[in-house]
Structure 1
Amino acid sequence: MPSGNVIRGSRIGSAPERFDQRTEPAPRRPVAYWCRNAHRVEFLIAAEAEAPAVWDCPRCGEPAGPDPDNPPGQARPEPYKTHLAYVQERRTPEQAEALLAEALDALHRRRRGA
């Protein structure tokens, strides 16, 4: 009796299909970007696609632009926020007190029932 996890239509050790013989890749074009640290970033995009104005440099993380003589400015990093800071942005103090009271009430009920 066969098990339910058999891959049908292939055998163990079989070679992958050769898609390159049956299909042709979409037309592509190279795009190059430079960051402030003179790192060159080059990749291929679809020929009909519009290239993004800015791309992150994979070596240093700075923004890179298509003009090597005028790369974009330094990225301004987002300051680190704690979980409490994000919660305080979304809730008023009154909402926070109501949520805390609800959570404490649920905790007390669970402990009494257990």
Structure 2
Amino acid sequence: MAQQTMRGMRLGTQSLESERGVNYSARVQHSYQCANNHVSEMVFAADAEIPQTWQCKSCPQQATLLEDGKLIKLDLVEDKTPRSHWEMLLERRSRDELEEILQERLDYIRARRAGGQADL
């Protein structure tokens, strides 16, 4: 009896699609250098906005974009401090309005408690 084998493909490891007729978008390569002098090469689309900093691939430092072999001068961006809920509330209402709303709500809760009803 002749020995026969089943031939096939491994599932999920090979694609049946080919690269014929595929037009890739234009790309550009940029270099970033960190404080430890590690240089990271990154590829971006030609029309993409290039970030001034990128995390170094070799260490946890922030790397700065290199243009013509020199580090660029970073734009100073003011860090926006997070606003508290109270600050956001004060942007919408005055302190007098807030005290009036608080007093209305306290009166409502006291009236419900006096009537023996549960708070909502």
Q: Could you tell me the TM-score, scaled by structure 1's length?
A: 0.47
Q: Which of the two has higher C-alpha Rg? A: 2
Bigger relative contact order, structure 1 or 2 (CA pairs below 8 A, ≥6 apart):
1
Richer in helix (by share): 1
